[in-house]
């Protein structure tokens, strides 16, 4: 449970950070005297001249009509006016827009207690900082004035006034004028204080390859200097998460403007884990606590290298159109060029899928262009028939299919594509890139020029047949050794020969 703090304790630390204080008051007359119904007093790090835009829009869109019991007043004061405002509260009244509103009794700031949390948040503010928010009823509903003020929001006269103003009920009015959709309105002559605490973890980045977590902190420099970031990696399990280890971020680095970042080493992480972040202030304790899903914090290439690489060939918008608005192929019988080639590609795709690859036949989206080129003038780097990814092996396969023996330019084409893609994949996703050519030719002569980092596995007709045999006998592991130019496995042999693998003398 979070520690309970008193309003003066919080203000002693954060008051110097604020530039303005805002007072929004809804009041009604009882026996000719204006009495408070609901007042929100909010501190802000913004100057008075820059605030209140959302409220002005609400007042212009749905002004509270006169001729009813309720009236609304609003004032935005420079923070140096806070002592005067505090004196008014301690005397049990508020001066706003020339009206003195009676609160019902003296307001003792020390009686406003709560913890710092994400809560309903600031009204009309563009940020979502943690807040200290505490409210208290100034009158008891057991006396006549208290009953009148607590029940007035449900009276027929108020309801008619609200509906003439365009509101269904009091709660809708409060949501528009107080940003108070999640606040409680129980109590007579309600006073609420809202004090934002500019200290939070805004977002998290996880880099699995580098084994580190980066926390992006948004904070006021004064608070950041007395705070530290903490974290835990948690595995999501029912009924409660399992802690996999703590993250050591240490003190928050100096803040430039409002933002800074800090890093911690991470040993092991899964995309299904959660990183639970906390910011701890030396005096206020835990100010911000927020879980971040690792899946949303890692680079997209790490979560799904296949899809992200596919986007280089076929942008996701084009793919969406292809799957939602398919068009029939031309019915012209003369347009059969490439039909056998496409069928061969499709069947190789099936074969790779059986080996556990998520495989995509690129078809008309086979070309890769220079990502840095200007629109309309991008340089074509090469073409690809099949794009496949194996999660367990962490391998991305770039494959070409041909009905004839592969030519030198076919091999060079794959090397060019690997150069364009491999560095980013290895850096951001930590995966291998393998190259392969599948050909319908009976026998291919090996080339000594494509080995090591430039190795291209070539599977001719007998080689493809042996892959089918390997699937039938449960020897799927051999394929990955061949793609990595490491044919020897646990059983010590190569069931495929190697006559079809470039770099072997045959």
Domain boundary among the residues 154, 174, 196 is at 196
pLDDT computed for residue 453 by the predictor: 84
503 in a domain, yes or no?
Answer: no
Q: What are phi and psi of 109, to 5 degrees?
A: -60, -30
Residue 36 lies in a domain: yes
Q: Verify that 292 and 307 share a domain, yes or no.
A: no
CB 17 within 8 A of CB 197: no
Exposure of 419 by Cβ count < 10 A (0-12 exposed, 13-18 middle, 19+ buried)?
middle
Query: Does the residue 329 lie in any domain?
Result: no
Do 309 and 294 lie in one domain? The reply is: no
Is 455 domain-assigned? yes
If asked whether residues 206 and 190 sit together in one domain, one would say: no
**Residue range(s) defining the domain that contains residue 289:** 199-298
Q: Indicate whether 50 belongs to any domain.
A: yes
Q: State how far the Cα of 17 lies from the Cα of 12, in Å rounded to an integer.
A: 10
pLDDT tens, residue order, the chain (506 aa): 467 999 999 999 999 999 999 999 999 999 999 999 999 999 998 888 866 666 777 788 888 888 889 999 999 999 999 999 999 999 999 998 888 999 999 999 999 999 998 755 555 555 678 999 999 999 987 788 888 888 888 889 999 999 999 999 888 888 888 876 556 677 889 999 999 999 999 999 999 999 999 999 999 999 999 999 999 999 888 788 888 999 989 889 998 888 999 999 998 888 889 999 999 999 999 999 999 999 889 998 888 888 889 888 988 888 777 767 776 555 544 455 568 888 899 889 998 998 999 999 998 899 998 876 555 567 889 999 999 999 989 999 999 999 999 999 999 999 999 999 998 898 889 898 999 999 988 888 666 677 778 899 999 988 888 888 888 877 778 888 889 887 543 333 343 333 334 333 33
Is the alpha carbon torsion for 253, 254, 255, 260 positive or negative? negative
489 assigned to some structural domain = no
344 HSE (CA, 13 A, CB side): 20
Is the CB of residue 439 less than 8 Å from the CB of residue 459?
yes
Tokens encoding 189: 């002559």
Q: 0.85 exceeded by the pTM?
A: no
| Residue from 227, 221, 220 nearest 249 by CA | 227
Same domain? For 237 and 290 the reply is: yes
Q: Does residue 205 contact residue 293 with C-beta atoms inside 8 Å?
A: no
In this structure, are 78 and 117 located in the same domain?
yes
Dihedral sign computed on CA atoms, order 212, 218, 221, 226: negative
Strand ranges in 87-180 using DSSP code E only, listed in sequence order: 93-96, 99-102, 113-114, 116-117, 131-139
The per-residue pLDDT for range 370-386, each reduced to its tens digit, is 876 555 567 889 999 99
Total domains present in the chain:
3
Indicate whether 112 and 184 sit together in one domain.
Answer: yes
User: What's the CATH number where 277 sits?
Assistant: 2.60.40.10
Please state, in angstroms and rounded to a whole number, the distance separating the CA atoms of residues 504 and 482: 11
Assess if residue 497 is contained within a domain. Answer: no
List, as one string, the DSSP characters of 102-128: E-SS---GGG-EE-EESSS--SS-S--
Residues 348, 458 within the same domain:
yes
Give the single-character DSSP code of 314.
S
The CATH number assigned to the domain holding 426 equals: 3.40.1350.10
> Does residue 501 form part of some domain?
no
Q: Is 299 helix (H, G, I), strand (E, B) or coil?
A: coil
| Pair (110, 25) in one structural domain | yes
The string of pLDDT tens digits covering residues 327-379 is: 655 554 445 556 888 889 988 999 899 899 999 999 889 999 887 655 556 78
Strand boundaries in 60-211, DSSP class E: 70-78, 93-96, 99-102, 113-114, 116-117, 131-139, 188-196, 199-207
276 with 371, same domain? no
Q: Are residue 79 and residue 191 in the same domain, yes or no?
A: yes
The two tokens of residue 433 are 């890139």
DSSP string, 274-289: EEEEEEEETTTEEEEE
Judgement on whether residues 177 and 250 belong to the same structural domain of the protein:
no
Which residues have C-beta within 8 Å of that of residue 461, sequence separation ≥ 6?
439, 440, 441, 442, 443
Asked which of 128, 162, 196 is the last residue of a domain, the reply is 196
> Which of residues 141, 167, 196 is at a domain's end?
196
Are 67 and 177 members of one domain? yes
């Amino acid at each position: 449970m979070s520690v309970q703090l008193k309003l003066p304790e919080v203000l002693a630390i954060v008051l110097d950070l604020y530039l303005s204080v805002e007072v929004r008051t809804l009041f009604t007359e009882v026996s000719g005297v204006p009495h408070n119904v609901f007042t929100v007093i909010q501190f802000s790090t913004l100057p008075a001249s820059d605030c209140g835009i959302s409220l002005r829009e609400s007042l212009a869109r749905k002004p509270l009509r006169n001729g009813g019991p309720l009236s609304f007043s609003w004032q935005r004061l420079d923070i140096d006016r806070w002592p005067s405002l505090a004196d008014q509260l301690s005397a049990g009244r508020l001066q706003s827009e020339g009206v003195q509103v009676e609160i019902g009794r003296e307001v003792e700031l020390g009686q406003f207690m709560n913890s710092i949390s994400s809560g309903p948040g600031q009204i009309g503010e563009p940020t979502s900082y943690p807040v200290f928010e505490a409210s208290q009823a100034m009158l008891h509903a057991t006396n006549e004035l208290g009953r009148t003020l607590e029940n007035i929001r449900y009276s027929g006269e108020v309801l008619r006034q609200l509906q003439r103003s365009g509101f269904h009920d009091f709660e809708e009015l409060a949501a528009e004028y107080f940003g108070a959709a999640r606040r409680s309105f129980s109590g007579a002559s309600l006073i609420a204080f809202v004090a934002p605490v500019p200290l939070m973890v805004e977002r998290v980045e996880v880099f699995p390859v580098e084994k580190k977590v980066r926390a992006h902190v948004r904070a006021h420099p004064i608070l950041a200097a007395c705070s530290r970031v903490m974290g835990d990696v948690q595995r999501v399990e029912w009924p409660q998460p399992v802690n996999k280890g703590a993250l050591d971020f240490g003190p928050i680095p100096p803040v430039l403007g409002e933002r800074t970042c800090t890093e911690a080493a991470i040993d092991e992480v899964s995309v299904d884990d959660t990183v639970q972040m906390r910011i701890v202030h030396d005096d206020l304790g835990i100010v911000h606590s927020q879980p971040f899903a690792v899946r949303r914090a890692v680079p997209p290439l790490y979560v799904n290298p296949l899809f992200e690489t596919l986007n280089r060939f076929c942008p996701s918008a084009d793919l969406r159109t292809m799957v939602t608005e398919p068009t029939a192929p031309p019915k012209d019988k003369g347009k059969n060029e490439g039909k056998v080639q496409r069928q061969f590609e499709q069947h190789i795709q099936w074969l790779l899928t059986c080996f556990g690859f998520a495989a995509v036949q690129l078809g008309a989206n086979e070309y890769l262009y220079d990502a840095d080129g200007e629109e309309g003038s991008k340089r074509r780097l090469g073409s690809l028939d099949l794009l496949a990814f194996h999660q367990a092996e962490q391998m991305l396969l770039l494959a070409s299919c041909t009905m004839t023996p592969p030519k030198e330019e076919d091999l060079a084409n794959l090397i060019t594509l690997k150069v364009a893609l491999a560095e980013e994949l290895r850096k951001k996703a930590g995966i291998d890139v393998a190259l392969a050519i599948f050909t319908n030719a009976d026998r291919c002569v090996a080339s000594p020029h494509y080995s090591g980092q430039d190795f291209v596995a070539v599977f001719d007709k007998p080689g493809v047949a042996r892959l089918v045999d390997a699937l039938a006998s449960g020897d799927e592991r051999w394929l990955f050794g061949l793609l990595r130019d490491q044919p020897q496995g646990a059983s010590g042999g190569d069931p495929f020969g190697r006559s079809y693998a470039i770099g072997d003398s045959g």
